[in-house]
Amino acid sequence: MNKTLLTLIFLIAIAIICIFGCGKGYKTPADIKDKVAWLDGRSALPIFPFGTNPIYLFFHAHDCPVSNQMLDEIFSRPEIIEYLNNNFTCISVIPDSIDSIMFLGELVDGKRLLEAFRVKGYPAHFFFNNQGYLKGNHYGYIELRVFKQVLKYVAEGYMDKYDLKTYRNLPEAQLDTVWGEF
């Protein structure tokens, strides 16, 4: 082999080692332990659906007291953070920050996105399977016990066996909220 080809192979090998071995330039949900690994709606919605986990879409606004209450009281709890990061692809959608994005092949702005999802108030919660099929939604604040039940209902496949009302009465749905366990 000539010297140029060997040098090229060496440089490519160094680049591969640096890219894959010298630390990632991105974070995965496993890297983030102190907060929900939210994907920004502006970058995530154009490639929706994706991943192997169910998808949780959280529509909210910075100036919405109820949205902020959810962020402060629910999404700050360690067990919620861990469960969401391990079992869901979480997308934060702030429609006021969206001028235009591609969503399901259509160019939309934040207002049109709200219309498409029929969001009439914040916060709005949408749960999809990993193929992008809507499995459930809720508007407003979700109390901790109910939120845990809904997360488990979606992530662990109970939604394919029971309606939510039936599931919430099963022993599997009786979850601890004091000690932070699922």
Confidence of residue 91 (pLDDT cuts 50, 70, 90): very high
Between 136 and 7, name the one with better pLDDT: 136
What would the mean pLDDT of 61-78 be, rounded to a whole number? 96
Confidence of residue 72 (pLDDT cuts 50, 70, 90): very high
**pLDDT tens digits along 12-38:** 555 555 454 444 444 454 555 689 999
- pLDDT at residue 40 is higher than 90: yes
Indicate the burial class of 146 (C-beta count within 10 angstroms; 0-12, 13-18, 19 or more).
Answer: middle
Find residue 181's DSSP bridge partners. none
- pLDDT at residue 179 is higher than 50: yes
User: How many structural domains are present in the chain?
Assistant: 1
Strand-strand pairing, 106-108 and 101-103: antiparallel
Indicate the burial class of 105 (C-beta count within 10 angstroms; 0-12, 13-18, 19 or more).
Answer: exposed
Strand-strand pairing, 55-59 and 124-128: antiparallel
In a domain, 7, yes or no: no
CATH of the domain at 103: 3.40.30.10
Task: Kindly report whether the global pTM for this prediction surpasses the value 0.85.
Answer: no
Contact 85, 30 (CB under 8 A): yes
In a domain, 161, yes or no: yes
Contact 158, 172 (CB under 8 A): yes
Sign of CA dihedral 156, 160, 164, 169: negative
Q: 35 lies in which domain range?
A: 28-173
In a domain, 36, yes or no: yes
The pLDDT, as a whole number, for residue 24 is 45
Confidence of residue 51 (pLDDT cuts 50, 70, 90): confident
In a domain, 74, yes or no: yes
- Residues counted in the chain: 182
